[in-house]
């Protein structure tokens, strides 16, 4: 009888409601912190294609630093700041930024992805993310011969191969094309010399037979570069910087 009285007592009900409020508050704080960190500081990404072979493979998982934090700064523009990327970096490109996003739809999509462990999205944005290697930065003069790029850095005096401009070596997959293939199109492995704009960079697949990169998109605005692959944490046998 005493226990039954305690169960329905005003004090006991207030304590129960107080605990529920603290649990809900703690969950909301965790969700807000998670959303901020993964949206503006870092995120984990799964490479779902073999476009970056032989260096990166489908199934590799990465911790990516985010450049979205810079967009929180008032009147921020890459034209007034040095991009935090270097030639040779593997970056995360979000081609969905070509289309204007609805803020509330983006917020709702983030919530759905959070509660479904990234398995469900109302925007299908996963298909818009690409991991590519930076070949040219704003103002660079670049050209391609037989699928290998030569770059003259902005303000530089010499033209060097893409491999000479990156202190960490990487390999590329060079496809075989017919001898009479038209050299005037990117698929032939040749591009005439051109200069990147002040807010543009050139990103490429390591598998040069795959043309889902700047050879078909054209130079990519810096705003489309939302992060850099900083560390590969899976598989364990290939831990390290990509």
Q: Mean pLDDT by 10-residue block, N- to C-terminus, for the chain (242 residues)?
A: 54 74 82 70 84 92 80 63 84 80 59 62 62 94 92 91 88 80 71 92 92 90 89 90 85
pLDDT at 211: 78
Closest CA to 211 of 150, 132, 151, 142: 132
108 lies in some domain = no
Query: Helix 10-40 and helix 103-115: axis angle, to 10°?
Result: 110
189 lies in some domain = yes
Residues 178 and 149 in one domain: yes
Report the CATH number that the domain containing residue 146 is assigned in CATH. Answer: 2.10.109.10
Residues 146 and 215 in one domain: yes
pLDDT at 136: 94
pLDDT at 196: 95
Residues 60 and 162 in one domain: yes
Whole-angstrom Cα distance, residue 203 to residue 183?
Answer: 20
Whole-angstrom Cα distance, residue 166 to residue 87?
Answer: 6
**pTM score, whole prediction:** 0.76
Residues 23 and 49 in one domain: no
| The token pair that represents 19 in the structure block | 């605990």
118 lies in some domain = no
103 lies in some domain = no
| The token pair that represents 138 in the structure block | 């704003």
CB 97 within 8 Å of CB 67: no
Counting beta carbons within 10 angstroms of the beta carbon of residue 20, is it exposed (0 to 12), middle (13 to 18) or buried (19 or more)? exposed
Closest CA to 54 of 143, 133, 136, 151: 133
Whole-angstrom Cα distance, residue 206 to residue 54?
Answer: 7
Whole-angstrom Cα distance, residue 194 to residue 218?
Answer: 11
Residues 167 and 78 in one domain: yes
Whole-angstrom Cα distance, residue 16 to residue 179?
Answer: 78
Residues 45 and 15 in one domain: no
Residues 206 and 216 in one domain: yes
CB 145 within 8 Å of CB 151: no
Find the domain containing 145 and state its range.
41-98+127-237
Residues 33 and 46 in one domain: no
Please count the structural domains in the chain: 2
Q: In DSSP terms, which residues pair with 160 in a beta bridge?
A: 151
Whole-angstrom Cα distance, residue 213 to residue 218?
Answer: 8
Residues 72 and 191 in one domain: yes
60 lies in some domain = yes
pLDDT at 119: 61
Closest CA to 87 of 140, 13, 158, 19: 140
Strands 141-145 and 129-136, bridge-based pairing = unpaired
Residues 186 and 77 in one domain: yes
Closest CA to 65 of 185, 227, 241: 227
Residues 70 and 158 in one domain: yes
Closest CA to 144 of 213, 69, 42: 213
Residues 78 and 196 in one domain: yes
């Amino acid at each position: 009888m005493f226990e039954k009285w305690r169960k329905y007592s005003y004090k006991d009900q207030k304590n129960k409601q107080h605990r529920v409020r603290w649990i809900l508050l703690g969950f909301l704080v965790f969700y807000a912190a998670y959303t901020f960190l993964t949206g503006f500081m870092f995120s984990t990404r799964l490479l779902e294609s073999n476009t970056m072979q032989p260096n990166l493979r489908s199934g590799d998982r990465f911790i990516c630093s985010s450049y979205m934090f810079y967009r929180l700064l008032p009147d921020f523009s890459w034209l007034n700041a040095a991009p935090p990327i270097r030639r040779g970096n593997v970056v995360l490109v979000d081609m969905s930024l070509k289309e204007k996003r609805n803020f509330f739809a983006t917020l709702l999509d983030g919530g759905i992805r959070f509660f479904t462990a990234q398995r469900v999205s109302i925007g299908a944005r996963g298909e818009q993310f690409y991991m590519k290697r930076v070949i040219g930065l704003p103002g660079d003069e670049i050209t391609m011969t037989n699928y290998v790029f030569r770059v003259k850095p902005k303000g530089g005096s010499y033209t060097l191969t893409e491999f000479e401009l990156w202190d960490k070596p990487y390999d590329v997959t060079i496809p075989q094309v017919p001898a009479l293939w038209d050299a005037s199109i990117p698929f032939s492995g040749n591009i005439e010399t051109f200069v990147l704009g002040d807010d543009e960079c050139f990103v490429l697949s390591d598998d040069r037979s795959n043309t889902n990169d700047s050879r078909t998109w054209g130079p990519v605005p810096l705003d489309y570069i939302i992060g850099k692959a900083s560390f590969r944490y899976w598989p364990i046998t290939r831990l390290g910087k990509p």
